[in-house]
């Protein structure tokens, strides 16, 4: 059954100039009767939510983002504002291992499922998910291909760790009320795909670089001190260089037939080992050259700290901007928030299944970060994007698009939070955005806001969240300050 900142601590004169321009533009916007009516009613258009959603991935023209530094200059309405004038801070929060149907399959109006198909051809209901999962489920590159099963989306039942069909479970408003409250008020993106088939480490490379250097797996050893460049024993697997067009065609065929005898074994013939300390261009490189402030808030020596595997970052001056996630709140409260922030939670709050990790506590951590931004002067100029890095082995019924031999992979939950989000018919005036996105979409948006060139084909073709944002209507500045839940096994003091 299916239910449908500039650099940190900017000069005061620059800051005041931007604020003056924004306030002038907002004042003009508020004088437009149609825009004001839309703000008060919470409707995106007279047609309702259908006007702001498109299953074909088309985006409302009102939300287009230009690649020029100043953004578009619409002439159709005096209420319009350039994206680069509206958004000066992007916060990209990346959590762990959940699929869209697992978190939001029951959300009214979204492209969700409440039952799933197994490899054996049975359709079973998606049971209620617990707050703490008993163990992890396989969610690597091959496991995702097995789950997708040539687009049938029924192979989740045969991947490792899913023998008890724990991947066929889902949450609800009762088990994650605050995430659903954000969906009610802001934007829930229901066609946001993980960039590749998994797993955590290469997915996070896409989060930083719009590519994974063709790496397809996590590190193969965890028994030595240090991490990535700091541990010479750490290797992973990647597609080898020099693939011909014929090789690529064969790889795509093998991926589609992964569940047939001998296919995975042949696929591994295209792989090679790689030491996890190498150089590729990452978006922080581009931001650094352009003089745009950034920080990567992440715990050291963890799977998710991909910049620790980029040699020139780890051993260069940029490493000082790779900081512990607790510094994010410090920077917000001390008015030191950079223009671009990657925010990777500490492990107790990243919602990774198993090991006693609580979804409730992870939700509280997210609320703490979002509340801090909303309580600060940054709120009116900030866009927050919350995603989960891979599908975690959990069922999802939507077949991913295919861009190349890397993916994309199954859908991630995605919340887009800002005064500048598209309004609609969700319970608190939010909307459901069915534009096709992947992690590179967030990088493309950052590039467009600052007039930067794309780094790879992925961010070049990615949609920069156009269906989620509206720069032709007055922003909805009302803050949604949520209270941390008190029924979590830990993390109840995150205020």
Provide the pLDDT for residue 222: 77
Q: Are strands 112-113 and 2-3 parallel, antiparallel or unpaired?
A: antiparallel
Residue 88 burial (10 A CB sphere; 0-12, 13-18, 19+): buried
The two counts, helices (H) then strands (E), for the chain are 15, 16
Q: Residue 122: count other Cβ atoms within 10 Å of its Cβ.
A: 11
Distance from C-alpha of 276 to C-alpha of 2, rounded to nearest angstrom:
42
Residue whose token pair is 């050259």: 289
Give the domain CATH number at 97.
3.40.720.10
Provide the pLDDT for residue 79: 56
Number of domains in the chain: 1
Residue 47 burial (10 A CB sphere; 0-12, 13-18, 19+): exposed
Half-sphere exposure of 201 (CA within 13 A, CB side): 25
Contacts of 130 by beta carbon, 8 Å cutoff, 6+ apart: 169
Q: In which domain, by residue range, is 171 found?
A: 1-132+167-212+277-495
Comparing C-alpha atoms, which of 2, 5, 81, 1 is closest to residue 373? 5
Provide the pLDDT for residue 221: 79
161: left (phi over 0), alpha (psi -120 to 50) or beta: left
Provide the pLDDT for residue 358: 98
Provide the pLDDT for residue 5: 34
Residue 218 inside a domain? The answer is: no
Residue spans of alpha helices (H) in 108-258: 141-148, 177-185, 200-209, 245-256
Contact 274, 235 (CB under 8 A): yes
Q: Is the peptide bond before 199 cis (omega within 30 degrees of 0)?
A: yes
Residue 137 inside a domain? The answer is: no
Q: Using alpha carbons only, how large is the chain's radius of gyration in Å?
A: 22
Residue 102 inside a domain? The answer is: yes
Write the DSSP string, 254-268. HHHTTTSTTHHHHHG
Q: What is the DSSP letter of 462?
A: S
Residue 259 inside a domain? The answer is: no
Contact 343, 297 (CB under 8 A): yes
Compute the Cα dihedral for 363, 364, 366, 370 and give only its sign: positive
Provide the pLDDT for residue 22: 53
Contact 126, 114 (CB under 8 A): yes
Residue whose token pair is 């919470």: 42
Residue whose token pair is 């990774």: 352
Provide the pLDDT for residue 223: 75
Contacts of 336 by beta carbon, 8 Å cutoff, 6+ apart: 8, 9, 330
Each of the 495 residues of the chain gets a pLDDT tens digit; together they read 333 333 333 333 333 445 444 544 554 444 433 332 333 333 333 223 333 333 333 333 333 333 333 333 333 344 578 999 999 999 999 999 999 999 999 999 999 999 999 999 999 999 999 999 999 999 999 999 999 999 999 999 999 999 999 999 999 999 999 999 999 999 999 999 999 998 999 999 999 999 999 999 998 877 777 899 999 999 999 999 999 999 999 999 999 999 999 999 999 999 999 999 999 999 999 999 999 999 999 999 998 999 999 999 999 999 999 999 999 999 999 999 999 999 999 999 999 999 999 999 999 999 999 999 999 999 999 999 999 999 999 999 999 999 999 999 999 999 999 999 999 999 999 999 999 999 999 999 999 999 999 999 999 999 999 999 999 999 999 999 999 999 999 999 998
Residue 470 inside a domain? The answer is: yes
Give the chain's end-to-end CA distance (angstroms, integer). Answer: 39
């Amino acid at each position: 059954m299916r239910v449908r900142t500039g650099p940190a601590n900017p000069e005061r004169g620059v800051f005041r100039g931007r604020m003056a321009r924004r306030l002038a533009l907002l004042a003009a916007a508020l004088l437009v009767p149609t825009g004001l009516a839309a703000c008060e009613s919470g409707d995106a258009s007279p047609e309702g939510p259908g006007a702001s959603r498109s299953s074909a991935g088309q985006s409302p023209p009102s939300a287009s983002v230009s690649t020029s530094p100043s953004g578009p200059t619409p002439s159709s309405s005096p209420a319009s504002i350039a994206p680069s004038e509206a958004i000066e801070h992007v916060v990209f929060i990346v959590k762990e291992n959940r699929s869209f149907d697992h978190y939001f399959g029951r959300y009214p109006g979204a492209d969700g499922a409440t039952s799933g198909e197994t490899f054996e051809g049975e359709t079973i209901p998606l049971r209620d998910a617990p707050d703490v999962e008993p163990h992890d489920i396989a969610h690597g590159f091959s496991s995702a291909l097995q789950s997708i099963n040539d687009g049938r989306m029924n192979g989740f039942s045969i991947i490792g760790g899913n023998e008890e069909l724990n991947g066929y479970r889902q949450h609800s408003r009762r088990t994650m009320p605050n995430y659903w409250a954000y969906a009610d008020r802001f934007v829930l993106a229901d066609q946001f795909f993980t960039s590749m088939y998994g797993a955590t480490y290469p997915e996070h490379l896409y989060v930083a670089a719009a590519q994974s250097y063709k790496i397809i797996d996590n590190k193969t050893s965890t028994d030595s001190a240090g991490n990535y460049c700091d541990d010479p024993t750490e290797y992973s697997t990647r597609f080898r260089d020099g693939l011909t067009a014929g090789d690529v065609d064969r790889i795509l065929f093998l991926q589609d037939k992964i569940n047939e005898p001998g296919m995975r074994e042949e696929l591994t013939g295209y792989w090679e080992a790689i030491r996890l300390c190498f150089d590729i261009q990452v978006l922080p490189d581009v931001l650094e050259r352009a003089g745009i402030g950034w920080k990567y808030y992440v715990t050291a020596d963890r799977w998710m700290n991909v910049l620790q595997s980029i040699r020139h970052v780890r051993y260069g001056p940029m490493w000082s901007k790779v900081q512990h996630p607790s510094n994010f709140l410090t920077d917000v409260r001390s008015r030191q928030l950079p223009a671009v922030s990657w925010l990777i939670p500490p492990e107790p709050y990243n919602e990774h299944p198993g090991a006693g990790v609580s979804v409730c506590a992870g939700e509280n951590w997210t609320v703490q970060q979002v509340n801090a931004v909303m309580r600060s002067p940054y709120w009116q100029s900030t866009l927050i994007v919350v995603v989960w890095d891979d599908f975690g082995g959990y069922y999802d019924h939507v077949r991913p698009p295919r861009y190349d031999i890397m993916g994309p992979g199954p859908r991630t939950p995605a919340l887009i939070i800002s005064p500048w989000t598209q309004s609609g018919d969700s319970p608190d005036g939010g909307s459901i955005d069915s534009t096709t996105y992947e992690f590179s979409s967030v990088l493309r948006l950052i590039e467009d806001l600052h007039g930067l060139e794309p780094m790879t084909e992925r961010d070049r073709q990615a949609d920069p969240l156009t269906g989620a944002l509206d720069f032709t209507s007055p922003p909805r500045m009302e803050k949604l300050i949520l209270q941390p839940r008190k029924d979590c096994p830990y993390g109840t003091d995150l205020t």
